C-alpha cells in the first residue's frame, strides 16, 4: 500500500496534518448518526469487509449485485467485488451495511454509550484484549463520534495484527478452512431442511383439509345414497387416516434429522474455536523459534571470521559485563566464548547448586545486564536476583530456554535496537483520510 490510511510516528501529529483534515465544531455538533459503509474512506473498505464479514456471507450477498457465480468464483474475486460495491455505493453497499448492522447489533449498542473519542478508544482497547475484534471494529468505524485519529488508530492496530498471522502452521490452516467450509455446508443443509419442513407442514395441513373435505363429501353422499356400503366408507376413512399418519411420521423424521444436524454444527463450531486457539499458540511459539534460529544462524555464519560476531551478530556485548544465572554447563561454555569473542565479559553462576549464593549477590551490582533461563533456574535464586537487581538499578531479563539460540536471539535484538535508535526517522506520510 503506497499511502496507508494511518499516520506514521511523528513528533507533532497535529502540526504536520493538512488543515482540511481538522474536524470543525459544526461537524461535531451535526454528526449525530452513524456513518454508512459507503461514506467511509475507500482505503478502509478492504479492512472492514475482510475483517467483519466472512467469505460464506459474502458468497450469499455479492452475487445478487454482480455477475459472479456463487459456487465457482474464488474467495479473492468475491472479496474484490464486495469492496467495489462498497466504494460504488448504491444497493450493494446498502446490503453490505445492513448485513454488518444486523450481525453486530450488540456491539453497536455497547459502543453507543461512548460520547467522546477517548471512550471509543477505551472500548476498542478492551476488544483488542479480549480478541473480539470484528464487532468492535465495525462499531467504532461507524460511530458518530469516531474522529479521523480514532479510525486511523484502529486501522493501524488492525493492520499490524494482520502481519502476525504470516507464519502459520499449514496443516492447521487447511484443517481450519475445511472445518469452516463444512460448517457453512451444514448451515446451508439446515436451512434447506427447515425450508423442507415448512413445505411438509404445508402439505400436511393441505392433506388434512383435503381429508376433511373428502369426509364431508362422503357424509353428504351417504345422506343422498342410503344404500351405499358402510364398509366402503369406513375403508376410505381408514385410508385417509393412514395417509395423515404417514405425513406425521415423515415430519417427525425430518425434525429429528434437523436437530441432529444442529447438534453436529454446534460441536464443529466448538472444535473450530479450539483449533483457532491452538493455532494461535503454535504461531506464537513458531515466531519465537524462528527468530532464535535466525539469530543462531547469523552467529554461526560469522563464526569463521574472528571479528564477524562483533560486526553483525552480537556486537552489543562489546564492552558489556553480563551475569548469566542458571543454564547448563555445556551451553554456558559456548555462551562465554561467544561473549568474549564479541569483546564482552560473561560471568556464569549456577544459582546455588555448586556456587555459593553469596557470590551471586556480590556479582550483580557491577553487571550491565543479568540474564536467566526460566527453564533452568530455581525459584529462590530467581526471586533473589530480581530483588538485588531492582535495589541496585541493574537491568535483568528472562530467557525462554537455556539454549544458545535463546541467548543469541536476545543479544541480537538488543543489537538491532541500538541500530534502529541511530537510524533516521522515516518521512511523514502525506495521506489524508478525507481527500486521499
One DSSP character per residue, 198-241 reads HHHHHHHHHHHHHHHHHHHHHHHHHHH-TTS-HHHHHHHHHHHH
Residue pLDDT, tens place only, 110-167: 999 889 999 899 999 998 888 888 998 998 999 999 999 989 988 988 888 777 655 4
pLDDT of residue 355: 59
Is residue 244 a contact partner of residue 266, using CB atoms and an 8 Å limit? no
For the record, the C-alpha cell of 152 comes out as 486511523
pLDDT of residue 30: 44
d(CA 410, CA 400): 10
Look at residue 323 and give its three-state secondary structure: strand
Cβ neighbour number for residue 422 with a 10 Å cutoff? 6
For residue 208, what pLDDT band results from cuts at 50, 70 and 90?
very high
pLDDT of residue 31: 53
pLDDT of residue 312: 52
Q: Which helix (H) or strand (E) holds 88?
A: helix 75-88
Is residue 325 a contact partner of residue 349, using CB atoms and an 8 Å limit? yes
Of 50-64, 181-195, 254-268, 340-354, the poorest mean pLDDT is in 340-354
Is residue 309 a contact partner of residue 341, using CB atoms and an 8 Å limit? yes
For residue 70, what pLDDT band results from cuts at 50, 70 and 90?
confident
Cβ neighbour number for residue 319 with a 10 Å cutoff? 11
pTM of the model: 0.37
For residue 432, what pLDDT band results from cuts at 50, 70 and 90?
very low
pLDDT of residue 232: 82
One DSSP character per residue, 379-422 reads HHHHHHHHHHHHHHT-EEEEESSSSHHHHHHHHHHHHHHHHHHH
d(CA 23, CA 26): 8
Whether the predicted pLDDT of 81 surpasses 80: yes
Sorted by sequence, the CB contacts under 8 Å of residue 215 that are 6+ apart come out as 237, 240
For the record, the C-alpha cell of 304 comes out as 569463521
Is residue 106 a contact partner of residue 135, using CB atoms and an 8 Å limit? yes
pLDDT of residue 331: 81
Residue pLDDT, tens place only, 266-299: 999 999 899 989 888 888 877 777 776 766 666 6
Residue pLDDT, tens place only, 17-32: 443 444 443 443 445 7
pLDDT of residue 144: 92
CA distances to 168, 285, 347 from 404, rounded to whole Å, are: 25, 17, 15
Taking each helix axis from N to C end, the angle separating 42-52 and 75-88, rounded to the nearest 10 degrees, works out to 130
Our CA angle for 416, 417, 421, nearest 5°, is 115
CA distances to 104, 419, 427, 428 from 9, rounded to whole Å, are: 32, 18, 9, 8
Is residue 343 a contact partner of residue 313, using CB atoms and an 8 Å limit? no
Beta pairing, strands 395-399 & 369-373: parallel
Is residue 193 a contact partner of residue 258, using CB atoms and an 8 Å limit? yes
Most confident of 90-94, 227-231, 281-285: 90-94
Residue pLDDT, tens place only, 411-424: 888 777 665 444 34
One DSSP character per residue, 26-62 reads HHHHH--SPPPGGGS-HHHHHHHHHHHS-HHHHHHHG
Is residue 386 a contact partner of residue 396, using CB atoms and an 8 Å limit? yes
Q: Which helix (H) or strand (E) holds 191?
A: helix 170-224
Residue pLDDT, tens place only, 316-360: 778 888 888 888 888 888 888 888 888 888 888 876 665 566 667
pLDDT of residue 301: 58
One DSSP character per residue, 328-378 reads -HHHHHHHHHHHHHTT-EEEEE-SSSSS-HHHHHHHSTT-SEEEEETTSS-
Of 83-87, 98-102, 154-158, 363-367, the poorest mean pLDDT is in 363-367
Amino acid at each position: 500500500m503506497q499511502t496507508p490510511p494511518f499516520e506514521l510516528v511523528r513528533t507533532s501529529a497535529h502540526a504536520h496534518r493538512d488543515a482540511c483534515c481538522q474536524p470543525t465544531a459544526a461537524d461535531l455538533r451535526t454528526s449525530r448518526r452513524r456513518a454508512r459503509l459507503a461514506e467511509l474512506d475507500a482505503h478502509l473498505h478492504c479492512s472492514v469487509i475482510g475483517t467483519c464479514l466472512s467469505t460464506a456471507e459474502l458468497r450469499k450477498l455479492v452475487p445478487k449485485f454482480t455477475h459472479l457465480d456463487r459456487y465457482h468464483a474464488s474467495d479473492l474475486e468475491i472479496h474484490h467485488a464486495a469492496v467495489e460495491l462498497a466504494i460504488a455505493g448504491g444497493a450493494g453497499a446498502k446490503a453490505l451495511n445492513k448485513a454488518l448492522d444486523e450481525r453486530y447489533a450488540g456491539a453497536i449498542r455497547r459502543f453507543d454509550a461512548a460520547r467522546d473519542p477517548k471512550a471509543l478508544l477505551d472500548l476498542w482497547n478492551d476488544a483488542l484484549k479480549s480478541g473480539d475484534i470484528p464487532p468492535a471494529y465495525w462499531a467504532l468505524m461507524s460511530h458518530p463520534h469516531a474522529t479521523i485519529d480514532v479510525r486511523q488508530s484502529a486501522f493501524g492496530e488492525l493492520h499490524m495484527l494482520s502481519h502476525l498471522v504470516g507464519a502459520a502452521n499449514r496443516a492447521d490452516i487447511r484443517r481450519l478452512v475445511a472445518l469452516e467450509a463444512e460448517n457453512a455446508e451444514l448451515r446451508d443443509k439446515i436451512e434447506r431442511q427447515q425450508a423442507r419442513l415448512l413445505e411438509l407442514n404445508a402439505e400436511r395441513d393441505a392433506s388434512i383439509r383435503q381429508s376433511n373435505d373428502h369426509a364431508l363429501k362422503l357424509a353428504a353422499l351417504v345422506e343422498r345414497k342410503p344404500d351405499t356400503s358402510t364398509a366402503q366408507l369406513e375403508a376410505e376413512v381408514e385410508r385417509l387416516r393412514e395417509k395423515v399418519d404417514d405425513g406425521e411420521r415423515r415430519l417427525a423424521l425430518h425434525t429429528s434429522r434437523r436437530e441432529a444436524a444442529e447438534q453436529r454444527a454446534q460441536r464443529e463450531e466448538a472444535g473450530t474455536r479450539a483449533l483457532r486457539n491452538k493455532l494461535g499458540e503454535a504461531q506464537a511459539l513458531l515466531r519465537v523459534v524462528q527468530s532464535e534460529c535466525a539469530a543462531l544462524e547469523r552467529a554461526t555464519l560469522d563464526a569463521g571470521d574472528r571479528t564477524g560476531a562483533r560486526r553483525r551478530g552480537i556486537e552489543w556485548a562489546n564492552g558489556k559485563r553480563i551475569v548469566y544465572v542458571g543454564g547448563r554447563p555445556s551451553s554456558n561454555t559456548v555462551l562465554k566464548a561467544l561473549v568474549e569473542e564479541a569483546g564482552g565479559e560473561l560471568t556464569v553462576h549456577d544459582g546455588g547448586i555448586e556456587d555459593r549464593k553469596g557470590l551471586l549477590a556480590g556479582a550483580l551490582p557491577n553487571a550491565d545486564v543479568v540474564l536467566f533461563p526460566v527453564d533452568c533456574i530455581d525459584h529462590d535464586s530467581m526471586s533473589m536476583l530480581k530483588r538485588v537487581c531492582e535495589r541496585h538499578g541493574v537491568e535483568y531479563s528472562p530467557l525462554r530456554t537455556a539454549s544458545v539460540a535463546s541467548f543469541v536471539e536476545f543479544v541480537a535484538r538488543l543489537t538491532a535496537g541500538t541500530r534502529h535508535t541511530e537510524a533516521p526517522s522515516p518521512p511523514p506520510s502525506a495521506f489524508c483520510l478525507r481527500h486521499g
